[in-house]
Amino acid sequence: MNITKLSGVLGMITLMAGTALAHHSFTAEFDVNKPVKLTGKVTEMKFSNPHSWIYLDVETNGKVVNWALETGAANALIRRGWKKTDLPAGTVLHVDGWQARNGTATANVSSVTFPDGKRLFAGSSNESAPQQ
């Protein structure tokens, strides 16, 4: 799957599926007052339910922290033709999101872009217009 197709697919996914398959209160887990901007390399894309996760190595002042970034459910990704191999380790991504209230390196993803500016995600599991 090429990047253009991928980003199109992902845009849809997160709009439709992020919220669509949430199983817990977004605002209870993530803090709207803690927006984060991260750049790093993908270490793993984990397809799972109730949410899939992108793990990203982010370097700050020489120290690497592996962030866990929550996205939509695996089933929503699968229904839109996604495969586990579509986001290989080493891919560089910029991620916007909101950090978990418990202060760990965990965030809910609102948007993901590639270094060339192409968008990967266009929403998050707290998208404010649920489709269902």
Partner 1 sequence: MFTWSTKALFALSAVVLSAQQIKLPRTADGKPNLQGIWQVRGKAAADLQGKGIVEGGEIPYQPWAVTKKRENFTNRLAADPLGKCYLPGVPRIMYMEYPFQIFQTPEHVAITFEWSQVYRLIYTNGKPAPHEGIDSWMGDSRGRWEGDTLVVEVKAQNDKTWFDMAGDFHSDAMNVTERYRMVDPDTIQYEATIQDPKVFTKSWKISIPMTRQKNMSRLLEYQCQAEAEEANGAFERDPRTWYPKPGSPPSPLGKPAVMPPSGPLPEVKTGTNLRRTADGKPDLTGYYQSNAGGANYGLEQRRSELRLTPSTRGVIIDPPDRTLPYQPWARAERINREEPYRGYDDPTAHCFVAGVPRSMYVPSPVQILQPPGYVVMLFERMSWRIVPLDGRAHIPDNIRLWQGDSVGHWEGDSLVVDTTNMNGKTWLNEVGDVVSHAEHIVERFIPTADGKITYRATVTDPIAYTKPWTIEIPLNRANDELLEVACHEDNGDLQHLKDVRDEYRAQQKKEK
- The contact set with partner 1 (CB under 8 A) reads 19-30, 32, 46-51, 53, 68, 70, 73-75, 78-79, 83-84, 98, 100-102, 104, 106, 126-132
Q: How far is the CB of 30 from partner 1 (least distance, A)?
A: 8
Q: In angstroms, what is the minimal distance from the CB of 81 to partner 1?
A: 9
In this complex, which beta carbon is closest to partner 1, that of residue 40 or of residue 72?
Answer: 72
- Strand segments (E) across 1-132: 30-46, 53-60, 63-70, 92-100, 106-113, 119-121
Task: Closer to partner 1 by CB, 37 or 118: give it.
Answer: 37
Can you read off the two tokens belonging to residue 107? 């965030």
Instruction: List % helix, strand, coil for the chain (3-state, nearest 5).
Output: 25, 40, 35
Residue 97's closest CA among 29, 54, 34?
A: 34
If the CB atoms of residues 25 and 61 are measured against partner 1, the closer one turns out to be 25
